[in-house]
Amino acid sequence: MIYQPDFTDIVANVDLLARGAWLTLSLWAIAYAFGLAAGLVLGMVRTAGQPLMAWPAAAYVEVFRNTPVLVQLVWFYYAFPVLTGLQMSAFTAAALGLCLNTSAYCAEIFRGGIRSIDAGQWEAGRALGMTYGALMRRVVLPQAVRRMVPAFTNRGIELGKMTAIASVIAVHELMYEARLLSANTYRPLEVFTVIAVIYFVVIYPGTLLSYRLEARLGRRG
């Protein structure tokens, strides 16, 4: 027997999917922007050579990198309010979890990038009498950021895929709408195929960009 695919329900509910996609994009943008900014601070703290500050930063990074994102989101949604008494919407909890998770990964990218600048550059800056901040801003980061761009692009892709996990704590993003639609229409094959294609179409250009950036970096050495 050959299965007859039927996409009419999906077409009829395209507005739902569009709303879901909008939330997905919002989650991504918030977490990416926060993750980059907080990651920069954390990365600098870890490389500045102050053990009292570097240790907590390292612990933070390791905790978020060594636990599943889903556990993090579930924790922020169900456990965090118990601890703090703050009630959060599912969206806020998901955004918080993704922000912190992304910041931990970005911190590692910044740290690796800063470390990759050779000692001579630091010495040359110090010899000119530059402060740590000036040295970082004027000498180290401009060189390091170029090398980090492919890794950040990759992080953006991983984050894009991660947003789907927010559906588990009932954030009405794209994946959640898909699960709802599938349950209501009994058309999981069509729904999840279409959703997979949507994610692919949105994320794949990013993947291509990261290949190109990596190749360019590889050529420059």
Contact (CB, 8 A) for 173 and 163: yes
Rounded Cα gap, residues 59 and 63, in angstroms: 6
| Residue from 17, 98, 164, 171 binding other proteins (CB under 8 A) | 164
Which pair of tokens denotes residue 86?
Answer: 């703050």
Which residue's CB is nearer to other proteins, number 24 or number 47?
A: 24
Nearer to other proteins, 56 or 188 (CB): 188
The Cα 71–Cα 34 span in angstroms is 20
Closer to other proteins at the Cβ: 50 or 67? 67
Q: In angstroms, rounded to a whole number, what is the distance separating the alpha carbons of residues 182 and 173?
A: 14
Contact pattern for other proteins over residues 57 through 86, marking x by CB under 8 A: -----xx--xxxxxxx-xx--xxx-xx-x-
- Of 46-54, 122-130, 133-141, 157-165: span binding other proteins (CB under 8 A): 157-165
Q: Count residues contacting other proteins (CB under 8 A)? A: 44
Q: Taking the complex as a whole, how short is the minimal distance between the CB of residue 174 and other proteins, in angstroms?
A: 9
Cβ atoms of 187 and 9 within 8 Å: the answer is: yes
Number of H helices, E strands in the chain: 11, 0
Q: How far from chain centre, in Å, is Cα 82?
A: 26
180 binding other proteins? (CB under 8 A): no
Closer CB to other proteins, 22 or 128, in the complex = 22
Q: Binders of other proteins among 181-200, rule CB under 8 A?
A: 182, 188-189, 192-193, 195-196, 199-200
Please tell me whether residue 89 binds other proteins under the rule CB under 8 A: no
Largest separation between any pair of C-alpha atoms in the chain: 79
Burial 122-143 (b: 16+ CB within 10 A, else e): beebeeeebeeeebbeebbbee
- Site membership for other proteins, residue 207 (CB under 8 A): yes
Cα-Cα-Cα-Cα dihedral sign, residues 195, 20, 152, 162: negative
Closer residue to other proteins in complex, CB, 48/54: 54
Residues forming the site for other proteins (CB under 8 A): 1, 3, 62-63, 66-72, 74-75, 78-80, 82-83, 85, 157, 160-165, 167-168, 175, 178-179, 182, 188-189, 192-193, 195-196, 199-200, 203-204, 206-207
